Chain A
Amino acid sequence: MEPLFFYILAVVTIVSALFVITRKNPVISIIFLLVMLAGMAGLFVMLHAHFIAAIQVLVYAGAIIVLFLFVVMLLSGGDAKPPFFIRSPIRAIAVLLALIVLLEAFIIMSSGSDTGISATQAFNSSPRNLGNTENVAASLFTTYLLPFEIASLVLLVAMIGAIILSKGFIK
């Protein structure tokens, strides 16, 4: 059963990401981004990271998508007029460079074999409750307490910055 779930989620995620970058209407892109984030949450659950999956749905799919939709509604999509893509030669070079990155990753993954066996054993034998809320909270409030507090400062600064930037220019 597990390979079936993985392949369904992987195909949904990849196809949604491809639709995000190729649609002309920004609202359609946002909807496909939402589907991709839901697929990612499913993949996190399969990796025994239940807390991160819940946070992904709450923060990414719940708040960030809504922010995007508000901005698209306010700006009416940016009044996009054709052409929607960068000029053709640069576009071809960009796709070629990204495919080189992908090819390099394939080569690395298929050639490295010295950590292959132990990594697979460790991967398959990890505990099922590795990423439940109790364990992540225990780690977050003891070992990583300082980054946790700094993250709250980051959110405060971002909130102040967004308010000042969107009020308009101070005469």
Chain B
Amino acid sequence: MLGIVGWLKEKADDIKDKVVDCYDAAKDKIADCYDTVKDKFVDGVDAVKEHSTNMWNGITGKNLMEQAEAVWDRVEKHKIKINKCKTEIEKLGRVIDTKISNINYLKNEIYRNHFMKFKSLADRLHNLNIHGQSFNEFFDESIVTFAYLTSVKDKSDCFKIDFDNLSFSEKFFGFLSLGYMTRKAARESLEEVKKTELSLAHDVAKIKEHLAKVGKTVEAISQIEEYFSFITTNYVKLLGRFEYGVRTQTYKRIIENHVNVSGKINFKEIPVVHIEEFHAIFNLSIVLKKMASLGYLSESGEMLVHDIAEYENLKDMVSKSELIAA
């Protein structure tokens, strides 16, 4: 144990002192180097600069940086356009959301309200069952959000060298390498900026495309809303006509003491016009049922099953004592 350890320890002690000196010396050396070179070369750099700016720009690559600046202006413009489109798309998204909610409401009304009424009226003439599903649509926000944006770079990420504020080591390296290093940095900056500009231009085109689609979709959904609204309004009106007809026929039979065992009116014995109305409402119901089962934006939503069966309605009618007329 003693041999090697002792020997190493001795040497280590020797080195220790030298190292402390070395270390300090190293620090000083760097500082000296810094200063000497600074003095010698910075003057040289400035001198060349004075005499020939163009050549200086060419050597150092400053001309490339000037190109890069011009391209960067376009980058900024793209960023603005993209933000505008984003805001617009969000706004339209909210509009669609409202409309979808409204359509959902109208769909539900069809079953809760209109079909129930139809059933209760139709039952006077004939048994009627309505089975269906209304599609309660969820507004899927991903439909309208734009997913492809390039992450936006800062100017400093792209511009790897600032010729107006060259650090000392940049000048130092630059001069010693005959401009190699600064040209390289300048070229890389230009390349980086060009890439950014092209990516953003691509993004602008894509987001504008998306905006166009969302815009037209809003119009189409408005149309759907109008379809629902119009058809249900007229359905209700038609029901009113039909109801009036059915009631009249019911009273007529009561007066004539013509009450049927089943409680129903024989459809062959009533005026055609009422059957026509019945027919029309029957068909319109099919149309509405179909419309209520569809999604108009995406597959996102849930189906609500409706089953308007006979006996329940009968129960209803009994409780409302409509069967037994005054």
Question: A and B, one complex?
Answer: no
Hey, which bits of chain A sit against chain B, CB under 8 A? none
